[in-house]
Amino acid sequence: MLPAFDPLRSSAVSLDVVAVTRASAAAVRERQKTRLAALLEAAAAGSALYRRRLARAAPAATPLAEIAPTTKRELMERFDEWVTDPKLGLDALRRFTVDPRRIGQPFLGRYAVWESSGSSGEPAMFVQDARSLAVYDALEAFRRPSLRPMLQHWWDPWGLTERRAFVGATGGHFASTVSVERLRRLNPWTAATVRGFSFLQTTADLVAQLNAYAPTVIATYPTAALLLAEEAADGRLRIAPQEIWTGGEALTAAVRRFVADSFHCAVSNSYGASEFLALASECRCGALHLNSDWVILESVDAQGRAVPPGETGSKTLLTNLANHVQPLIRYELGDRITIAAQPCRCGSPLPTIEVEGRIDDALLLNDDSGHTVRLLPLALTTVLEDVAGVYDFQLVQESDHSLLLRVAANGDAGRRELHSARDALGAYLRRQGLADVELHAHCGERCSCGRSGKVQRVVGLH
Ligand SMILES: [Zn+2]
């Protein structure tokens, strides 16, 4: 079965995405205004949840600032009232996403579906129609900076000689994995040009697979890029990628430099979320440009009031202008952002933002033979959230051979979570050659927040 795709819409959206990069800021605002009105119209018509929040007389004209913000928890609890297609039942979606063979397949023949355990607790279910997928595809394809000389693209404009490796959690219905699988199913002739590699396996196995595949492009998280760069610097990983794309976590200048130096290639960072895949990408000046023709991000303080450009808010509200089937209007995103006060010197009409990304640490532990093993924070959170089903936790490294797991739940629920967390984490540690690592665990303990106010889920030795 073919994945959700609308070739005519895709072409039109792609042309517009390219045109906007050369348009004026006023032209971007005009598109945003028209698309917001269309979204509010669709939400008022199909979503009982939003209908109550919008002005009754003229819902499409409701000023955005007057619409009450929503949270993941509220939307998931009222899923049936949220979605605009009544055929989208949460139970059926859950049955669909427990089957790994269906990753990237269309749901009801026309929707892409992914889950997000996310950085802020309970898992959510996101459904995309062909319209929003066309927007994400176009933004991913046409707003990424060109990291290589034109000549290299000229003889292979479709990238058919590329081998793109995605390194991440490949076993579940997550946004990145569904996107990779969807691309593979969409264009069988390009299936060989994109492949996912799990970061839950041992580093030695991951390195062996990448050596065999010899990717020309690697897309991954900064902590995983750092692990691969160390493997390359030590001579075990022998690949020559020409581009490294990172996202999903904070990328520090030092990590970027080390990764670029280890692979002798350019590194480009981007910002995306399960709620909107391609939020922002870097320009040649190194600034992150928000795709504000298709998504609105509002930086607000703890009371929900807008903060001025140049200041960091405590929360970010997202409005997805592309997705009408599952409207996200002033939805609380976990990250904190700063919207720049000045336009970028690259000349783009799109505003630039800075993001306080995930701040989890990698853990360095000693294996059975005394070697240091680096455990990636996103691999650890994937094991705890998606294998063990524990969402409110903190994993703290106590020494080079012991870990402390704190689980917020109390009583019977807490003990159940500890039990499944011990099973899942124990199995993962054994696979990494870390069977001797001690795991201490307590339930009913509040998890301390990091500097950003977000819980740091994985805390290394400092
Ligand atoms: Zn720029």
Query: Residue 18 Cα, ligand 1 centroid: separation in angstroms?
Result: 15
Q: Are residues 373 and 289 in the same domain?
A: no
Query: Residue 281 Cα, ligand 1 centroid: separation in angstroms?
Result: 9
Is 449 contained in some domain?
yes
Query: Residue 229 Cα, ligand 1 centroid: separation in angstroms?
Result: 27
Query: Residue 140 Cα, ligand 1 centroid: separation in angstroms?
Result: 16
Query: Residue 251 Cα, ligand 1 centroid: separation in angstroms?
Result: 17
Query: Residue 116 Cα, ligand 1 centroid: separation in angstroms?
Result: 30
Is 50 contained in some domain?
yes
Are 279 and 291 in contact, with CB atoms under 8 Å apart?
Answer: yes
Query: Residue 358 Cα, ligand 1 centroid: separation in angstroms?
Result: 23
Is 315 contained in some domain?
yes
What total number of domains does the chain contain?
2
Q: Are residues 82 and 102 in the same domain?
A: yes
- Which residue, 298, 330, 356, sits at the end of a domain? 356
Query: Residue 230 Cα, ligand 1 centroid: separation in angstroms?
Result: 30
* CATH, residue 173: 3.40.50.12780
- Which residue, 339, 356, 373, sits at the end of a domain? 356
pLDDT in tens, the chain (462 residues): 556 677 777 888 888 998 898 899 999 999 999 999 999 999 999 999 999 999 888 999 999 999 999 999 999 999 999 999 999 999 999 999 989 899 888 999 999 999 886 555 568 999 999 899 999 989 988 887 766 655 455 555 556 678 999 999 888 888 888 888 887 887 776 677 888 999 889 999 999 999 999 999 999 999 899 999 999 999 999 999 999 999 888 888 888 999 999 999 999 999 999 999 999 999 989 899 999 999 999 999 989 999 999 999 999 999 999 999 999 999 999 789 999 999 999 999 999 999 987 778 899 999 888 889 999 998 998 899 888 888 888 999 999 999 999 998 889 989 999 999 999 999 999 999 999 999 999 988 776 655 445 568 899 987
| Mode of pairing for the β-strands spanning 217-220 and 243-246 | parallel
Query: Residue 354 Cα, ligand 1 centroid: separation in angstroms?
Result: 12
Query: Residue 1 Cα, ligand 1 centroid: separation in angstroms?
Result: 40
Query: Residue 282 Cα, ligand 1 centroid: separation in angstroms?
Result: 7
Closest by CA to 73, choosing from 365, 392, 404, is 392
Q: Are residues 21 and 76 in the same domain?
A: yes
Q: Are residues 318 and 185 in the same domain?
A: yes
Q: What is the pLDDT of residue 284?
A: 87
Q: What is the pLDDT of residue 180?
A: 82
Residues bordering ligand 1, an ion, CB closer than 5 Å: 283, 285, 287, 344, 346, 348
pTM equals 0.85
Is 409 contained in some domain?
yes
Q: What is the pLDDT of residue 146?
A: 67
Is 1 contained in some domain?
no
**Domain of residue 382, residue span:** 363-459
Q: Are residues 318 and 439 in the same domain?
A: no
Query: Residue 352 Cα, ligand 1 centroid: separation in angstroms?
Result: 7
* CATH, residue 400: 3.30.300.30
Query: Residue 144 Cα, ligand 1 centroid: separation in angstroms?
Result: 12
Closest by CA to 403, choosing from 440, 364, 375, 457, is 440
Query: Residue 287 Cα, ligand 1 centroid: separation in angstroms?
Result: 5
Is 367 contained in some domain?
yes
d(CA 45, CA 51): 7
Are 140 and 13 in contact, with CB atoms under 8 Å apart?
Answer: no
Query: Residue 409 Cα, ligand 1 centroid: separation in angstroms?
Result: 44
- The dihedral region occupied by 170, where left means phi > 0, alpha psi between -120 and 50, and beta the remainder, is alpha
Query: Residue 20 Cα, ligand 1 centroid: separation in angstroms?
Result: 14
Is 2 contained in some domain?
no
- CB count within 10 Å of CB 75 equals 21
d(CA 347, CA 33): 22
Q: Are residues 282 and 405 in the same domain?
A: no
Query: Residue 204 Cα, ligand 1 centroid: separation in angstroms?
Result: 38
- Which residue, 356, 388, 411, sits at the end of a domain? 356
Is 288 contained in some domain?
yes
Q: Are residues 339 and 378 in the same domain?
A: no
Query: Residue 283 Cα, ligand 1 centroid: separation in angstroms?
Result: 5
Query: Residue 423 Cα, ligand 1 centroid: separation in angstroms?
Result: 47
Q: Are residues 298 and 439 in the same domain?
A: no
Query: Residue 347 Cα, ligand 1 centroid: separation in angstroms?
Result: 6
| Token pair of 30 as six digits | 């005009």
Diameter over CA atoms, the chain? 71
Query: Residue 219 Cα, ligand 1 centroid: separation in angstroms?
Result: 21
Query: Residue 286 Cα, ligand 1 centroid: separation in angstroms?
Result: 7
Q: Are residues 349 and 454 in the same domain?
A: no
Q: Are residues 342 and 371 in the same domain?
A: no
Q: What is the pLDDT of residue 119?
A: 52
Q: Would you say how long the chain is, in residues? A: 462
Q: Are residues 194 and 283 in the same domain?
A: yes
Q: What is the pLDDT of residue 395?
A: 95
Query: Residue 285 Cα, ligand 1 centroid: separation in angstroms?
Result: 5
Query: Residue 146 Cα, ligand 1 centroid: separation in angstroms?
Result: 13
Long-range contacts of 152-161 (CB under 8 A, 24+ apart): 152/242, 158/190, 159/190, 159/193, 160/189, 160/190, 160/193, 161/193, 161/216
Query: Residue 411 Cα, ligand 1 centroid: separation in angstroms?
Result: 52
Q: Are residues 39 and 12 in the same domain?
A: yes
Q: In sequence order, what are the beta bridge partners of 286?
A: none
Query: Residue 402 Cα, ligand 1 centroid: separation in angstroms?
Result: 45
